């Protein structure tokens, strides 16, 4: 597949050893100072993932210092690779939502070991990499209706929001009572110090972000952590060795035996569901940041998209290989773009800062889950923004309209709502995507609009239908 050159944003060319020769700063209307400042800004906005990712994956039984090490390592290496290979200001790190799928769906709900779950991540990374290499990513985009792709993002957002509220202690599960429900979620009594810590962190985060402070999420985590040490009850404790340094013990700890554990169909659907979430999250981020940075053509398409998509897809393989979960392009890259960053030098600076954080990863274990809960709540809410209808002005001056779901149309609203709600309510992304796909196809067929459904979607929906009926058809053999 041929590659297009990108007007105004040339790819890296190693003409001489200077930064100008490598990143063509003048051609992009920027300077070394601006790019370094943009890289520092992007890192400050993204650095919360160093604390949040270990907190999420700890629920899967992984050591927090080891996960923090893998997080910094994969974020640093891949972000530098993105900058050098694409000469664009995209930064990468383990994806929020994707890590929740690993911890609460693959390990928690499906019973995989952490190593097997990382095997799923690696295989889905290989799958989406092949899609990019063979140039068939557009086919995937065509198979999945736009409304459902947005619903997947929102469902993951609700998933993250739910985890944040639970980690904050705000909601809890009640076992129920005789002659009533067997169990249900309810509001916890708001009278504990951990909840107080979370609410302080959430308030600080919301206020700072509302006032345009780019590092609001990170500052909120740090403030909540300080408060956690000040309140009674040992809400937070210092690690025995706060400067113990990085722990590389999780590198290479993946296992492909999940096929035998889950059964072939369940394993394939788990891979497919994870890949869809990863794929659409990446495309949305690349286009969203690209719009701000001027990387889109007159039709609103990301030109020369093969390169950033390839690095992004390799992020899943790398993330699984070091047990950091799938690494993906971060929407927070827009923070660096907003202060003038335009080239891959931004990404190189951001990546180097992640690597420089490695000696201090043991400090992450001092941050309690109640301090990172506000970050999950806020990020979960922000992911719902994909449903917002908005206009985007392209460099050519043309405008395109993005976002929005017509909830007055049952053929869209029912699959979308099922996708968004089944994910968090069942703690399983596969269930949510499957409910959306099956209901979408059934409603289209029932209303005489079968021809509007892509043929590939029929096959996928059939596989999900068999998955849902596996207890009836196969005695839950997979």
Quickly state the pLDDT bin for 7 (edges 50, 70, 90). Answer: very low
Q: Could you tell me if 295 and 287 are in contact, meaning their C-beta atoms sit under 8 angstroms apart?
A: no
Tokens of 446: 């029932």
Q: Is 419 helix (H, G, I), strand (E, B) or coil?
A: helix
Take residue 454 and report the two structure tokens written for it: 């892509």
pLDDT of residue 419: 93
The total of other beta-carbon atoms located within 10 Å of residue 7's CB is 11
> pLDDT of 91-141, one tens digit each?
999 998 899 999 998 999 899 999 999 999 999 999 999 988 888 766 776
Find out whether 328 and 281 touch, Cβ atoms under 8 Å: yes
pLDDT tens-digit series, residues 323-333:
999 999 998 99
3-state class (DSSP) for residue 93: strand
What does the pLDDT read at residue 6? 41
pLDDT at 214: 82
| CA dist., res. 290 & res. 21, Å (int) | 23
> Mean pLDDT in the chain?
88
d(CA 126, CA 131): 9
What pLDDT is recorded for position 394?
Answer: 56
Measured between alpha carbons, how far is 128 from 273 in angstroms, rounded to an integer? 12
Q: What is the mean pLDDT of residues 345-351?
A: 97
* 21 or 320, which is more confident: 320
Tell me what pLDDT residue 470 has: 78
Contact (Cβ atoms closer than 8 angstroms) between residue 256 and residue 121: no
- Whether the pLDDT of residue 8 is over 50: the answer is no
Residues 37, 34: Cα–Cα separation, whole Å: 5
Q: Is the pLDDT of residue 50 over 80?
A: yes
Lowest mean pLDDT among 63-67, 71-75, 182-186: 182-186
Instruction: Measure the CA–CA gap between 88 and 347, rounded to whole angstroms.
Output: 7
Flag whether pLDDT at 407 surpasses 50.
yes
Question: Which pLDDT score is estimated for 38?
Answer: 94
**d(C-alpha 377, C-alpha 386), whole Å:** 16
Determine the pLDDT at residue 300. Answer: 67
Which residue, among 298, 317, 319, 377, has the nearest Cα to 67 in the 3D structure? 319
Residue for token digits 């504990």? 192
**In angstroms, rounded to a whole number, what is the distance separating the alpha carbons of residues 149 and 155?**
10
Contact predicate 111/61, CB 8 Å = no
CB 42 within 8 A of CB 353: no
Residue 192 has pLDDT above 80, yes or no: yes
pLDDT at 401: 62
The pLDDT of residue 249: 97
Nearest to 307 by CA among 77, 8, 85: 85
């Amino acid at each position: 597949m041929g590659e297009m050159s990108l007007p105004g944003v040339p790819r890296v060319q190693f003409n001489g050893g200077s930064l100008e020769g490598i990143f063509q700063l003048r051609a992009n209307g920027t300077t070394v100072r601006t790019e370094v400042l943009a890289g520092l800004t992007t890192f400050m906005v993204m650095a919360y993932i160093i604390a949040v990712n270990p907190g999420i994956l700890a629920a899967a039984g992984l050591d927090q210092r080891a996960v923090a090490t893998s997080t910094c390592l994969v974020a640093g290496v891949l972000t530098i690779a993105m900058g050098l290979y694409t000469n664009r200001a995209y930064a990468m790190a383990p994806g929020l939502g994707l890590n929740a799928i690993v911890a609460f769906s693959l390990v928690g709900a499906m019973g995989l070991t952490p190593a097997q779950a990382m095997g799923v991540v690696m295989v889905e990374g290989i799958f989406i990499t092949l899609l990019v290499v063979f140039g068939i990513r557009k086919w995937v985009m065509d198979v999945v209706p736009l409304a459902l792709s947005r619903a997947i993002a929102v469902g993951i957002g609700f998933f993250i929001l739910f985890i944040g509220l639970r980690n904050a202690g705000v909601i809890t599960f009640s076992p129920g009572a005789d002659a009533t429900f067997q169990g249900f979620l309810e509001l916890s009594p708001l009278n504990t110090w951990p909840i107080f810590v979370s609410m302080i962190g959430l308030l600080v985060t919301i206020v700072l972000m509302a006032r345009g402070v780019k590092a609001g999420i990170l500052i909120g985590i740090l403030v909540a952590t300080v408060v956690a040490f000040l309140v009674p009850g040992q809400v937070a404790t210092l690690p025995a060795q706060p400067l113990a340094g990085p722990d590389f013990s999780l590198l290479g700890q993946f296992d492909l035996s999940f096929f035998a554990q889950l059964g072939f169909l369940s394993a394939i659907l788990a891979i497919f569901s994870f890949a869809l979430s990863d794929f659409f999250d990446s495309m949305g981020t690349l286009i969203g940041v690209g719009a701000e940075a001027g990387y889109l053509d007159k039709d609103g398409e990301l030109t020369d998209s093969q390169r950033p998509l390839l690095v992004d897809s390799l992020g899943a393989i790398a993330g699984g290989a070091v047990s950091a979960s799938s690494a993906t392009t971060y929407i927070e890259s827009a923070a660096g773009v907003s202060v003038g960053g335009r080239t891959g030098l931004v990404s190189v600076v951001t990546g180097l800062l992640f690597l420089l954080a490695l000696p201090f990863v043991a400090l992450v274990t001092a941050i309690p889950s109640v301090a990172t809960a506000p970050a999950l709540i806020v990020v979960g809410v922000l992911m719902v923004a994909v449903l917002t209808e908005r206009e985007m002005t392209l460099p050519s001056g043309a405008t395109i309209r993005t976002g929005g779901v017509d909830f007055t149309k049952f053929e869209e609203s029912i699959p979308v709502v099922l996708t968004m709600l089944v994910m968090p309510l069942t703690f399983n992304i596969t269930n949510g995507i499957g409910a959306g796909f099956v209901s979408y196809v059934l409603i289209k067929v029932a209303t005489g609009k079968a021809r509007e459904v892509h043929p590939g979607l029929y096959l996928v929906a059939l596989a999900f239908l068999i998955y849902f009926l596996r207890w009836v058809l196969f005695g839950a053999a997979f």
